[in-house]
Amino acid sequence: MKKLRGRSLPQVRRFNRSLVLQTIRAHSPISRIELTELTTLTPTTITSLVDEFIKYGLVKEIGNIKGGVGRSRTLISINSEAYYVLGIDLARTSISAGIVDLAGNLLTVKRVSSDLNQHFPVTLNTLEETIHSLLDEISSQIKEKIIAIGIGSPGPLSPSKGVIISPPNFTGWSNIPLKEIMEREFGLPTFIENDAKACALGERWFGCCKNTDNFVYLAVGTGVGAGIIIDGDIYRGEGELAGEIGHTTIDINGPRCSCGNYGCLEIYTSVISLIDRIEKEEGLKSLIRDGHIETLSSFYRSAREGNIRAVEILNDYCFWVGVGVVNIINTLSPSAVVLGREALINGSDLIIPRVEKVVTERSFFTTSQQTRILASSIGQDTGVIGAATIALQEFYKSPYEMIKNKNK
């Protein structure tokens, strides 16, 4: 728990409010007595704050359970329908937008194919049209309760400034003040984050690493990056640029990367590189489909059926993913490494065992024994859920401030 020494009473109250609301979210349903035990706050403080939350409609009482000596305890839970956030996932070949409630449930999602490797004004037009179209499709009751926007985008970017700096795969994207642009267009507080970091927080709140304090999310998609969770929160590093593992060198004599360096991990492990190998293989060209996910699904099916060349390519691909995972484990010794994004959709059963084999063979024995290798449990929606979680995190920090701004 953070130290509060030297803080004013309003600051302490704000901290306690966020702590209790976050604890209810993470452990719903929960009793007031359990809240006292988990937060170490006094029963009087817990009662006061819970009463506040009920008044604002943020939590609700959902029933009773028998306690000790015949006593019953009233359970409380987050009122998931009190407010909603908009989660936006910007990928190289698509834009996805979804409505997510306070408990992390995805109500609806809209996906649009869009080549983000083009000048920003074109992409911005597609992005705004996608969001407006989504908002037109939902009920007015839900629309009125949307309280913030979260955006996950390839980096490098600055979350604190709300600026996308210069993604290597996005031509014409340079110092884009996306937060400012979106707030002006939609009138909602907007928060941006590197997509891998956003996915990591999504898994921390709602996925396979719920309440796990130290793990790494490895995003294996059109680009490759990592979201690092340390002590339960995103580690951004100096300049907010931590996690660009896709641009670490694994072969000093390797081919040139889009970032300008040579032999980067991304060259060997992105879905672009995997699909490029499939396209170049005469016996596998028939597996190519219109979209990346569709092509990979066809490829994975061929590997499951025993196509020798498909299996060889898959083994080689997983070797390099495994090398990236080994470097993560040997450097950070996390509780888990979660693999996600396009490469894992419909293929996790093939990839995870092969990566585990590389980890067993190449990492320090004691370290690898402590680290679980997992597939994202959120799946195809991990980008939208992750982006939404960035906005939800800000809401849970200062709920009343956001509510007041919404009602202005």
Do residues 42 and 140 share a domain?
no
Do residues 216 and 186 share a domain?
no
pLDDT at 3 over 60: no
Q: What share of the chain is helix, strand, coil (3-state, %, to 5)?
A: 50, 20, 30
- pLDDT per residue over 235-286, tens digit each? 999 888 899 999 999 999 999 998 889 999 999 999 999 999 999 988 898 9
Question: Taking Cα atoms as reference points, which of 323, 142, 357, 291 lies closest to residue 224?
Answer: 323
CATH number at residue 105: 3.30.420.40
Domain assignment of residue 2, yes or no: no
Do residues 365 and 216 share a domain?
yes
Domain assignment of residue 39, yes or no: yes
Provide the pLDDT for residue 120. 82
Average pLDDT, the chain: 91
Domain assignment of residue 191, yes or no: yes
- Structural domain containing residue 142: 84-200+383-406
Domain assignment of residue 25, yes or no: yes
Residues 6+ apart with CB under 8 A from 71: none
Whether 269 and 321 have beta carbons less than 8 Å apart is answered as: yes
Domain assignment of residue 4, yes or no: no
Do residues 219 and 359 share a domain?
yes
pLDDT at 382 over 60: yes
Q: Which residue do the tokens 């609301």 mark?
A: 21
Do residues 180 and 250 share a domain?
no
- pLDDT per residue over 6-43, tens digit each? 567 888 889 999 999 999 999 999 999 999 999 999 99
- pLDDT per residue over 207-233, tens digit each? 999 989 999 999 999 899 999 999 999
Separation in Å, CA 305 to CA 299, 300, 310: 10, 9, 9
Question: Taking Cα atoms as reference points, which of 33, 41, 34 lies closest to residue 18?
Answer: 41
Domain assignment of residue 103, yes or no: yes
Separation in Å, CA 94 to CA 16, 344, 381: 40, 17, 13
Q: pLDDT band for 329, please (50, 70, 90 cuts).
A: very high
Domain assignment of residue 1, yes or no: no
Do residues 151 and 224 share a domain?
no
Do residues 71 and 113 share a domain?
no
Tell the burial category of 253 from Cβ atoms under 10 Å away from its Cβ (0-12, 13-18, 19+).
Answer: exposed
Residue type, 242: A
Do residues 224 and 344 share a domain?
yes
Q: pLDDT band for 4, please (50, 70, 90 cuts).
A: low
Do residues 217 and 326 share a domain?
yes
Provide the pLDDT for residue 366. 64
Query: Measured on CA atoms in the order 295, 296, 301, 303, is the torsion positive or negative?
Result: positive
pLDDT at 288 over 60: yes
Residues 6+ apart with CB under 8 A from 405: 189
Average of per-residue pLDDT across 335-359: 95
Do residues 62 and 127 share a domain?
no
Domain assignment of residue 162, yes or no: yes
Question: Taking Cα atoms as reference points, which of 181, 164, 182 lies closest to residue 172?
Answer: 164
Do residues 65 and 99 share a domain?
no
Provide the pLDDT for residue 96. 95
Whether 374 and 337 have beta carbons less than 8 Å apart is answered as: yes
Share of residues in the chain with pLDDT > 70 (%): 95
Among 78, 108, 129, the domain-final residue is: 78
**First-to-last CA distance in the chain?**
33
d(CA 270, CA 180): 31
Average of per-residue pLDDT across 314-328: 96
Provide the pLDDT for residue 379. 85
pLDDT at 349 over 50: yes
Provide the pLDDT for residue 1. 44
Do residues 365 and 225 share a domain?
yes
Q: How many domains does the chain have?
A: 3
Average of per-residue pLDDT across 96-120: 90
CATH number at residue 28: 1.10.10.10
- pLDDT per residue over 186-208, tens digit each? 999 999 999 999 999 999 999 99
